[in-house]
Amino acid sequence: MIEEAPQNSRTLLLVDDEVNITNALKRTLRRDGYTILVANSGEAGLGLLEKQEVGVIISDQRMPHMTGVEFLRKVKILYPKTLRIVLSGYTELESVTNAINEGAIYKFLTKPWDDDLLRENIREAFQLHEMEHENLRLSRELQLANHELSLLNQNLEQKVIEKTREITHSLSLLQISQEILEHLPVGIIGIDTDGMIVSSNRQAEAILCQPTCACLLGSLATDVLPDSLLQLLQQADFNDFTQLEGGMITFGGENAAHVLVSSMGRVSQSQGIIIVLSPKKECPTCLT
């Protein structure tokens, strides 16, 4: 005979071939709020375990066809997360010692039992069972979190690789642009809103008669540009490349160049002006 009850968070299975024993246990434990299942043999107990999850099992030792130890050894293999308790007489202690040592049995309680001690042991067994389930849940969550973190790291590494490739490509384009700028047959000068030269090429330095290895970058326009050009820049109002009135400007007494000026900020956030110096062919010190 098998007695079943509704699902509960704490389900207890009693296995004993003596109905009066299982009834007495149920009376003792009814106030503790367990869902109590009853089986009158080891075979019936295994059948119940196939249908319902059980946290704690209390089994008698002396039963026909299958002893309590034999039953609990099979339970350990099939349902290792259950907590397994043998409830039997002192005379059975020797027969269950090996099973206790093997871990097939969590505890051995004796008949006749002390109600309070029995209830306390069952309560502790359920607490241990729930702790193991909680540890398993936390372990799975940790594995999932580690897996997600690993995916995030992989994505981050891929983004770093892509960003590095992008930066490398941009640097390469910048180097190419710089090389083109350096070899242009015209002088290029960029001046920010503070009047500082922030860009120039060799042709501009040659037109302005700069000393060898001198660099215009970081210089103030007022220190290197002729007054005639500075005055024209102050008076000029331009949005596109415009040739300043007067056309030709003389630099250093011998170099002369046509001057075109445009404002910066059309394709970038830069502010200031760009000066293009197109030297006369007879300019003796200009690069060719």
Query: Tens place of pLDDT for every residue, the chain, 288 residues?
Result: 444 444 447 999 999 999 999 999 999 998 899 999 999 999 999 999 999 999 999 999 889 899 998 999 999 999 999 999 998 876 666 667 777 777 778 888 888 899 999 999 999 999 999 998 899 899 999 999 999 999 999 999 999 999 999 999 988 988 898 888 888 889 999 888 888 998 888 888 888 876 555 678 888 988 888 888 888 777 666 666 777 655 678 776 677 888 888 887 766 677 888 889 888 765 544 544
Sequence spans of domains, the chain? 2-137, 184-279
**Fold agreement between 2-137 and 184-279:** no
Q: What is the DSSP letter of 252?
A: T
Q: Retrieve residue 187's tokens.
A: 């002088």
Would you say 249 and 229 are in contact if contact means Cβ atoms under 8 Å apart? Answer: yes
Domain 184-279, CATH homologous superfamily name and number: PAS domain (3.30.450.20)
H-only helix segments in the chain: 19-29, 42-51, 68-78, 93-102, 115-182, 202-207, 221-224, 227-235
Q: Which residue type is seen at 201?
A: N
CATH class of the domain comprising 2-137: alpha beta
- Cα(189)–Cα(262) distance, integer angstroms: 11
**Under 8 Å CB-to-CB from 184, ≥6 apart: which residues?**
201, 203
Would you say 14 and 38 are in contact if contact means Cβ atoms under 8 Å apart? Answer: yes
Crossing angle for the helix pair 42-51 and 68-78, to the nearest 10 degrees: 20
- Cα(255)–Cα(54) distance, integer angstroms: 100
CA 158 to chain centre: 13
Count of helix runs (H) and strand runs (E) in the chain = 8, 11
Would you say 74 and 82 are in contact if contact means Cβ atoms under 8 Å apart? Answer: no
Q: State residue 255's pLDDT score.
A: 78
Which own/partner pairs from 104-110 qualify as long-range (CB within 8 Å, at least 24 positions apart)?
Answer: 104/69, 104/72, 104/73, 104/75, 104/76, 105/69, 105/72, 109/58, 109/85
